Amino acid sequence: MAGDGTDQRALQYEQTLMYGRYTQELGVYAKEEAARIREEAAYRRLVTERSRSLDLLEYDKSRCAKCRICTVHCQKFLISRVGEDWIFLILLGLVMALVSWVMDFCIALCLQAQKWMYGGLDSNVVLQYLAWVTYPVVLISFSAGFTHIVAPQAAGSGIPEMKTILRGVVLKEYLTLKTFVAKVIGLTCALGSGMPLGKEGPFVHIASLCAALLSKFMSLFGGIYEDPNLIGIKNESRNIEMLAAACAVGVGCCFAAPIGGVLFSIEVTSTFFAVRNYWRGFFAATFSAFIFRVLAVWNRDEETITALFKTRFRLDFPFDLQELPAFAVIGIASGFGGALFVYLNRLIVQFIRKQKAINKFLMKKRLLYPALVTLLISTLTFPPGFGQFMAGQLTQKESLVTLLDNRTWAKQGIAEEFEYIGHAAAWKHPQANVFITLVIFIVMKFWMSALATTIPVPCGAFMPVFVIGAAFGRLVGESMAAWFPEGIHSDGVVYSIVPGGYAVVGAAALSGAVTHTVSTAVIVFELTGQISHILPIMIAVILANAVAQSLQPSIYDSIIRIKKLPYLPELGWGHHEKYNIRVEDIMVRDVRYITLNCTYRDLHDVLLTERLKTLALVESTESMILLGSIERAQLQALLSQQLGRPRRLEYLRQRAQNERKHSSIVSTPSSEEGNHKASHEVRFQISTEESSFSPTRSVSPKPLKPALKRHSVVERGTEIPSNQDSGIALKSLFCAHPEAAAVEDPDVDDDMTMREIAEWEELQLDEQVNFNNCKIDPAPFQLVERTSLHKTHTIFSLLGLDHAYVTSIGRLIGVVSLRELRKAIEGSVTVKGVKVRPPLASFRDSGTSSSDAEVTELHKLWNRHTNLTLPQDHQPSDSDEKSQ
């Protein structure tokens, strides 16, 4: 044992030295090794290829051989294609279209059931009320309870979380099957209750879940023939791309709006967008929307593929040029309304959080809050009660259809004898005209929606806001129609005003204001199937965005703030003081690192204390020269390899051999065999490139976003040695025939006691780490200590970095992670009271900051004027910097 051990250690030392020589040599060495291994691998592959084809030839030497070879290659081709993007995207689109359609079907059933119950009990108002109220309360409570029990992550919209995930941040349990089930069932129940809740946000999440699960599923088939070297690199980046496409699919199949879906998902989730991935979203969203609508045709709901909320406005003269001010007014008002909605929503959450007593009570009885809110809302919409003044009996979809109606409800200023057909009748009340109904509808739905979206069930805010916007637009349109009963156009021909067009504009503007997006305009076109109002809609949406962005963050950013998700806020040009912050001011100086000559014990300790995804590898504690970074999983694999069962068996075999040698020196062949095996072993330990990814894979077999999860294998150090299976798995990856090398050895059996194992492990831990099998990233991202905060922010958000090392002339002096960066940005911005910065905020900045400065200066001047004293010289910095 002693001799061999020393030999091995000497070898290891030599290798360490080899690595330690210098980084240039390291690179050369790595390249040579890689070339050697490539050749070897190629040779090996050639051999198997040859033997396979020889087999084939032997099996059938007739003319059929040609066909056979073709078949084999076709098969191989097909299997390898399974991993291709477009098959994945088609499947994703198909599945999501089915999910969307089935869910819509179930929701429609639920709503019909409620109507049927309500309608059947029309003899007794109390019973009717009970039915009207109980039904949604039960459904919402079930949804909340189910979500809470199965996967609490499924509650809420999901867009803020997806925004964070697409930024590259780890969010645990957000993309699992459990969450998928909880989200789908919870959402169906929540929407089936008839509450003012939306489907869009959750659908983005569901599509992402679907993509994640599908990707997992497909990796079972495909990827077998893929180059293992590339899987890691490919997967990381590809999964982000796939998730981005999935977000587009989510919106696309929810509204049958492929283009709007792609744009909306980009606007809502991305900061920087690679145009290269654009087609993925379009492809999948189009396919999904297509299937979604085809299902409706097959189900005989529709005659052919058309828009979801088809409008029939006249094409030849959609609107007059002089109506544009009214559209602009809708836009501006929607901007204020959208900001108010976001503010109200946040206020409700914060109010409930602050009231400790309420909060405590609600925490205990989790279902009480949803039930209470539902009770309140459904009581107010009870059609024979207050609901009659706000079209309470209409579902969200019905309201929207009636609001987008191309007929005018009010003529001559008063709600008159217009024939209200079908659902539109709900807007007519004998005592109140249609304006009052609309105003009540808008006001009530506004706070109801803001309140309802705080319920912890899967739900979005897009659709309720959309409906409110449509109602507001309709109100303005009806007013215009009442004001100009003959239309505005002066050239003889009468073109009456179409209030439905105003409703479309209002819907786009308000939803755009709440979500801070422009692409709601496109969604509206696709939803209504008409694009004739494009310019009014664009103008209103842009105005609404300008106003809303200067007042409040978007609903999603607001939720990110409420939930305190780890999202990197935007950094604008407005904040000049940022240029003076440098990386050295924010970096963490106490970096945990590993050295080239560390022992396994050091590794173990570092892994226990440090929780970062990757660890820095430095030359030595003295020089601190950064050599590269190693993934945590790699180190864990190293450690488990060192302490695993195969190595222990090897050790036992060695010992047994030594004992045998000791007892009889005659049996040379056996010893030779053992030596051969040892050298074989060493050879495989040296091999780097080809097998370098295998340890990661064996430890983290999940192909989707392995970085999303932190593996807790080595967390409890003492459990490692019992990790037998993974050890064998490792062995099987390193050697071509694992049984022949380790298990088939009949004269060794694992008869060590626990104490012996512990002792042996202690010995093993004191050995120096052999980094040869380890994949070292030789070029981790580096900053220097004087890199500005602005540059750091740009680099982090462009490259989606998680952390970056700070070096000074090659020496590692610190590390900056997303957390520090976020703190630095938020810290400095909070001073001004602005936290998350929207894209249009140049309006806000210029407004607030300069007016601040103006005010201060005016005050100063006035103080001087009245006091007639000279101002002090020693406080010039603050206000003057602002006025720069």
Chain centroid offset of residue 736 CA? 39
To a second copy, the closest distance from the beta carbon of 569 in angstroms equals: 12
Nearer to a second copy, 10 or 274 (CB): 274
Phi, psi of 597 (to 5 degrees): -105, 30
Least distance between a second copy and beta carbon 690 (Å): 11
Nearer to a second copy, 134 or 229 (CB): 229
CA distance 400 to 308: 11
Dihedral through CA 145, CA 147, CA 151, CA 155, nearest 10?
-130
Closer residue to a second copy (CB): 18 or 57: 57
Residue type, 672: E
Shortest Å, Cβ 330 to a second copy: 15
Q: Encode 234-257: b = buried (16+ Cβ within 10 Å), e = exposed.
A: ebeebbbbbbbbbbbbbbbbbbbb
> Cβ of residue 304: shortest distance to a second copy, in angstroms?
6
Q: Between residues 194 and 252, which has the closer beta carbon with respect to a second copy?
A: 252
Phi-psi region of 594 (alpha: psi -120 to 50; beta: other; left: phi over 0): beta
Nearer to a second copy, 29 or 418 (CB): 29
Specify the pairing of strand 626-631 against strand 776-777.
antiparallel
Q: What is the largest CA-CA distance in the chain?
A: 120
Cβ nearer to a second copy, comparing 532 with 640: 532
| Cβ-based nearer residue to a second copy, 16 or 788 | 788
Q: Which is nearer to a second copy, 414 or 861 (CB)?
A: 861
Angle at 231 between CA 226 and CA 237, to 5 degrees: 130
Q: Toward a second copy, which CB reaches closer, 124 or 808?
A: 808
- Tell me the closest approach of the beta carbon of residue 596 to a second copy, in angstroms: 14
Residue 803 zone, left/alpha/beta (φ > 0; ψ -120 to 50; rest): beta
**480-483 long-range Cβ contacts below 8 angstroms, 24+ apart:** 480/323, 480/326, 481/408, 481/410, 481/411, 482/410, 482/411, 482/412, 482/413, 483/413
**Tokens read off for 485:** 């009963």
What are 187's two structure tokens? 């959402």
At its nearest, how many Å lie between a second copy and the CB of residue 344?
Answer: 25
Q: Cβ-count burial of 733 within 10 angstroms (0-12 exposed, 13-18 middle, 19+ buried)? A: middle
Q: What distance lies between CA 261 and its chain's CA centroid? A: 16
Tokens of 64: 């059929």
Measured from the CB atom, the residue of 56 and 150 that comes closer to a second copy is: 56
Q: C-beta of 22: minimal distance to a second copy in Å?
A: 8
Distance CA 139, CA 250 (A): 24
Q: What tokens were used for 866?
A: 């009245």
- Nearest 5°: the CA angle 708, 712, 715 is 140
How far is it, in rounded angstroms, from Cα 519 to Cα 252?
12
State the nearest-atom distance from the C-beta of 267 to a second copy, in Å.
6
Minimum CB separation from a second copy for residue 224, in Å? 12
Q: In the complex, what is the shortest distance from the CB of residue 779 to a second copy, in angstroms, rounded to a whole number?
A: 4
Least distance (Å) from a second copy to the CB of residue 305?
Answer: 5
Residue with smaller CB distance to a second copy, 226 or 610: 226
Q: Which is nearer to a second copy, 3 or 27 (CB)?
A: 27
The two tokens of residue 797 are: 């958000």
Which residue in the block uniquely carries the two structure tokens 């422009």?
Answer: 518
Minimum gap (Å) between residue 734 Cβ and a second copy:
20
CA distance 295 to 287: 12
